[in-house]
Structure 1
């Protein structure tokens, strides 16, 4: 089934005004913050160490995420989200007016006050920003929407950083910056006026104004979600830990290891931001428009590999009398490897972060979503502060070089994500399924929208290969409980996936009556709980590519728990490595085209083995 690109969302009123609003907010944040830092470093008359004031800026911007995220989470559930966004954007205009006065009168205290207020603005906007998307987007648009938001955010950060540098290079920087920050704030408010109504999820919620007790309660709520959600929050925060270290060290790395000037810093930031944007956009294509957490281990692997490569490729640059500009740096072949490593970090960072955000949104109850995202923001801020402390300890106390710091972070990434994937093996399971369906096979889906989004149903399909369950599980958005022959269930490596997915091993009645009866008990339990169960009624793999007769197990299942039956068929698997074709070979028909087709639901009274075999045969057609 063909789907439009995620970019079609930019033509819809339910997404475009929100996208522009959040993009302008991120852009304005970085124009103001970077302009203030450059003013402190180069423009203002300041006694003492200017680096202290720069570090104070970082603290003032991040502190509101600790203080006000919990309150923002409550606001995001109690009030209509569209109205809340407009109120926040009006606040941004006022804040930027104060910041503009600070620039016009060279008043550092006013600028710092505005910076703290902008941090508060961003802390309040975060939960409503991510909780409004599941209300505005369809399930199959959530990954694409998150990809666009992450792409827009990082490109806005880059544009704001570069724009601030250009404006601050002028001798008349103050009125230019003042006009820019107020103007962008006004544009953001105007864009927000077109955001469609997004109703409050919990209007009866009583606000707790004690920010400390509510912050603790919010963290407990977020980390008390299902393991998949709570560990996704931890993984999300870990990404910001890693990202903060790389972004913080880029200026010093460009100066001390590439012997570059400010243009080299801009070049590296551009490559990293483009990488994040590219990875975020590719997520929808690679995930098949569904929340595919199998991309998270893939992203984690790439973050480690490219972090190690960056460490390996650092050093050995010739030092000139004058600092290299970006063109001079590009004259060295080794610099291209460094930039490739940084691009890889960005791309795989996108693969890592976008599915995590989408999972948190899709698997959190609507009446808790804003507070769970607030918990994520609190933890993000904590991890970013810890990253600064770790960097100081490793660089100043342990005397590591910046590339060695990147090496340590890459190795820590292995440890942290191993912990996450061990606690939630679903990540690893989905990765193995995703890898299989994107390496050995090209899988096409047809009519899978006929499978219900909610409620119990029994899926029946022909049985061609040892990996039928993996390919079906990777194609269908809902979790599926597969019934499979117990000897296939016990296969090495695949057993891990089957166990994690809650598959049901079954044996023939005459082979092992205990396994046989236990299987039907578990099938009935899953169906009563509203889950999808998939069976292969042939009872064994095809030995010649043709379908075997359907057995009577389906009749017993429907007698105990009558549910709709969805016939399905796999085409193109016969002859592949995992089939029983005697002429197969590992490289025979590798990257072969496989199609999964679903048919119209069959009523219980018509779902006899003979009728279902006929339906599945028609769906399969002549393609074995």
Structure 2
């Protein structure tokens, strides 16, 4: 995990991180101070009930994301991003000075107006916040950078919420809060001044100030890329899930755990730390690449531990009695609930970080900010629906644990729906499991695979999982040419179809299928895709590289593209190889976590490709280790 923390020492990332951290801290510092103030002093400040005021405050903060995200996305694409961030942070300073006046006058109306304006400032900052990351970071740093931002954001939310609630309750609390929010806003502005310039994506764009038409247009941008659109729906679902849990912590602490305000703080702290740790673990678990295979892993955890949280909760029903935190922690069942919350949050980190990185990496740079603005709009919509669902179910007589149960089951249904629409998520999950349970994969030279444009990967064929191993090592989707018999395997056929593999038969067996396969390979290469081929034509039964067949030459002659030689090492003798007879007949032949390697060399130009020369290169890469 060291590489992601190295970013914290670099000017291209640290000032931005601090700006984001301080902004998230200040939002929650002010918002929670206001909520606590109106909760305990509503009778002195206004005729409205405290509960109504709290819900009005929550609505006023989120409303600007509906109203102004469309405009914010345009601004972030049109103007240089570091300057826009500085102006946004300067606006925060002005708003915090307005908050000082509101606290001094004890004006609830002015405090709520300030909260609405803070939501507006956050809505403006949102698109530029995520759109600037791909400009500051290399692609292999995107996961680590997003992990730091997400973990820092949730810790800032936690700290801001705690500090705001504690500081407003001390003598002269409003004065202390006033001084604090101004000081943090000024620090955020100073941090923003050190952010390096980030060029405008579309400086000639004419801004449309109509939020309705622009919102619809931005959703159109999102729908152009099916994977990005469904990833944004997945992100929005996470905020739905998280909003349900976070909003119910006070009620859960009081009616289920039988705790006081400190119990609420404990639940919030556990959840925030879990999100932070899960986010930071993403880079190590994904091998520093955008690994969407972690998304199903995270969604499974969100359901499993959400269900266990419901299962564990009835044992701790405490009626109206309130217990101090020390007594609460002495109960064994409390630790199970805390463990479930940590794991829900940890899995949330695995789920959300790859999705954010995927949206950033696959969005068109010319309107990336507007796509992220559309994401913010959908996030806000899902959070409002979450609040409405929670309020409705609780009003209908459901308990807080039952609300957690319903949310966990909904998560399973939503996840299955998204993964059936985009099988790439499940495919990457299967591949990720393979290389993190059965094998320990070391990769060398995959930077030789072009990031864009057509190319062929040519590898030796040692086992039935060779294609999956290569998929795990490569950032780009690969369309493998494979034997039609293997392609139709009952279980693995899902993987092969999801990866759009190309089935092939020998000319003697089915000449029509052979022609179709070569035509499909040519179409894929002409479309700029990456094609994987095992030129031996079959899995080795001796461990040695078999003679390469002439098909690779025929493909390159028809569609001249570079060929990347790749060698697999260490798979001979594994469960999926044909050593000592049929494959997959002797489980745990070599145990688990076997060390294997994948090595790639510089591409061979299409004019230099020969069957013998390519075989010699792959054999040299493999060496003596079979």
| Alpha-carbon distance between aligned partners in 2 of 1:321 and 1:281, rounded to the nearest angstrom | 39
- Is the 1:96–1:185 contact (alpha carbons within 8 Å) kept by the matching residues of 2? yes
Contiguous gaps of at least 5 residues in structure 2: none
The answer to whether the 8 A contact 1:35-1:164 is kept is yes
Distance 2:8 2:617 in 1: 40
> 1:194 Cα deviation (Å)?
0.7
- Measured against aligned partners, the alpha-carbon deviations of 1:333-375 in whole angstroms (never above 9, x if no partner) come to 0000000000011000111111111111111101111111111
Q: CA deviation at 1:310?
A: 0.3
How far residue 48 of structure 1 moved from its aligned partner, in angstroms, is 3.9
Measured after TM superposition, the shift of residue 322 of structure 1 is: 5.9
Shift in Å at residue 585 of structure 1?
2.1
CA displacement at 1:447 relative to structure 2:
1.2
The counterpart of 1:509, out of the listed 507, 516, 521, is: 507
Q: Secondary structure at the match of 1:567?
A: strand
1:345 aligns with 2:347: no
Contact kept, 8 Å, 1:507 with 1:515, in 2: the verdict is: yes
| Conserved? CA contact 1:311–1:404, under 8 Å | yes
Quickly say closer, same or farther: Cα 1:320–1:383, change in 2 above 3 A: closer
Aligned in 2, Cα 1:540/1:568: closer, same or farther, shift over 3 Å? Answer: same
Counterpart for residue 314 of structure 1: 313
Equivalences for residues 427-576 of structure 1 within 5 A: 427-576=425-574
Which residue is equivalent to 2:612?
610
Show the 5 A alignment for 1:193-592.
Answer: 193-222=193-222, 224-317=223-316, 319=318, 323-397=322-396, 399-582=397-580, 585-589=586-590, 590-592=592-594
Q: C-alpha deviations, 1:290-334, integer Å up to 9, x for none?
A: 111111111111000011000000023374986222222110100
Q: 2:255–2:318: 8 Å Cα contact kept in structure 1? A: no
Secondary structure at 2:365's aligned position in 1?
A: coil
Residues 444-502 of structure 1 deviation map (CA, whole Å, 9 limit, x = unaligned): 10111111112222111000111100110111001111111111111122111111112
CA deviation after TM superposition for structure 1 residue 532, in Å: 1.5
- SS of residue matched to 1:257: helix
Residue 184 of structure 1 is matched in structure 2 by 184
2:54 equivalent in structure 1: 54
- The offset of 1:164, in angstroms, is 1.0
Checking the alignment, whether the CA contact within 8 Å between 1:262 and 1:325 is kept in structure 2 is no
Tell me if the contact between 1:227 and 1:423 (Cα under 8 Å) persists in the aligned partners.
Answer: no
Equivalent of residue 596 in structure 1, options 587, 595, 598: 598
Map of 1:107-118 to 2, 5 A cutoff?
107-118=107-118
SS at the partner of 1:314?
helix
Contact 2:92 2:185 in 1 (8 A): yes
CA shift for structure 1 position 36: 0.3
Aligned equivalents of 2:331, 2:387: Cα separation in 1: 31
In structure 2, distance between residues paired with 1:318 and 1:31:
32
Distance 1:55 1:318, change over 3 A: closer
Q: Is the contact between residue 67 and residue 215 of structure 1 (CA under 8 Å) also seen in structure 2?
A: no
CA separation in 2, counterparts of 1:100 and 1:447? Answer: 58
For residues 132-165 of structure 1, give each alpha carbon's deviation from its aligned partner in whole angstroms, at most 9, with x where no partner exists.
1111110001111111111000000000011112
Q: Distance in 2 between matches of 1:62 and 1:520?
A: 54
Q: What SS class does the counterpart of residue 532 from structure 2 fall into?
A: strand
Task: Please say if residues 252 and 400 of structure 2, whose CA atoms lie closer than 8 Å, have aligned partners that are also in contact.
Answer: yes
Q: Distance in 2 between matches of 1:99 and 1:219?
A: 35
User: Matched residue of 2:458: which SS?
Assistant: strand
TM-score (norm 2): 0.97
What is the total number of aligned residue pairs between the two structures?
Answer: 620
Provide the secondary structure at the position in 1 that maps to 2:366.
coil
The answer as to 2:102 corresponding to 1:105 is no
Q: Cα deviations across residues 258-278 of structure 1 (Å, max 9, x unaligned)?
A: 000111111111110011001
Q: Distance in 2 between matches of 1:318 and 1:219?
A: 45
The 8 Å contact of residues 256 and 318 in structure 2, kept in 1 or not, is answered as no
Q: Is the Cα contact below 8 Å between 1:429 and 1:500 reproduced in 2?
A: yes
1:33 positional shift: 0.1
Once superposed, what is the RMSD of the aligned Cα atoms? 1.4
Instruction: Write out per-residue CA displacement over residues 91-131 of structure 1, whole angstroms, 9 at most, x where no aligned residue.
Output: 00001110121112212112111100000011111100011
Contact 2:231 2:358 in 1 (8 A): yes
Shift of 1:42: 1.8
Unmatched 5+ stretches in structure 1: none
Deviation at 1:606, TM superposition (A): 3.0
Q: Secondary structure at the match of 2:315?
A: coil
- Between the aligned partners of 1:423 and 1:435, the Cα distance in structure 2 is 21
Instruction: Out of 484-493 and 338-347, give the one that drifted further.
Output: 484-493
Contact 2:255–2:319 (CA<8 Å) still a contact in 1? no
Distance (whole Å) between structure 2 residues aligned to residue 422 and residue 456 of structure 1: 27
1:166-177 superposed matches below 5 A: 166-177=166-177
SS at match of 1:248: helix
- Conserved 8 A contact 2:484-2:505: yes
8 Å CA contact 2:95–2:118 kept in 1: the answer is yes
In structure 2, distance between residues paired with 1:402 and 1:565: 58
1:201-260: CA deviation from partner (whole Å, max 9, x where unpaired): 0111111111222222223332x1322111111111111111101000001100110000
**Distance in 2 between the 1:518 and 1:421 partners?**
29
What does residue 144 of structure 2 align with?
Answer: 144
